[in-house]
Chains A and B, each alone.
Chain A
């Protein structure tokens, strides 16, 4: 099964509101990354948080990581219509057998910000 799973699958909010997306994973990680993808385009790296970090900020983005719950959240504050996109978490580390695991992406959360 996939390593990272985002929740919710789709989220629709009004401009100005905050958007929170969650990511859960199964095996140990050394870092967790969030990417954004506009429709039909490539992914753009947003932020990387290491396994020994609990929170990280970048502009209007705030990422938290709880390794005990194997989960992360991405908060976008004061959302804008231009934030409409799919958001993916990706994890790297080891798989269940202890061997190196490549960066593994979830299925994403589709965020729609209504003007």
Chain B
């Protein structure tokens, strides 16, 4: 176990549904991340939060809405998704955020999302 827990593990939703992915880290880290992993593609960074402030938003469509109520919890709210949004969504945390990719990331097991 890496100390990062994601729920649910699997999610099937229709294009008109609204759902949320949850991530919790038990490591005392100050930064949390959302990544998208699609088949045959590199991991795509979606959002970064440092001390509950969003510091990166990599041109992610507005149908994905992150929320970081405290440094231990991170949510990804989903609404009106498209079938091409089907992917493994991974949450990660790091001790701090300094940019330039210096951080060692601790990942959760991911939520496998299928959009019908």
Contacts and interface: CB of A to CB of B under 8 A. Distances in A.
Interface of A: 2, 4, 29-31, 33, 35, 40-45, 48, 88, 90-94, 100-108
A90 B33 CA distance: 15
Contacts, number: 72
A104 B101 contact: yes
A44 B107 contact: yes
Contact of B90 (A29, A43, A101, A108): A43
Contact of B43 (A40, A45, A105): A105
Nearest to A32: B101
A44 B2 contact: yes
A103 B45 contact: yes
A101 B102 CA distance: 10
Contacts of A44: 2, 107
B42 interface: yes
Contacts of A4: 42
A94 B100 contact: yes
A21 B104 CA distance: 20
A86 to B, nearest CB: 10
A94 B102 CA distance: 11
Given A42-B4, A43-B107, A100 B100 contact: yes
Nearest to A45: B104
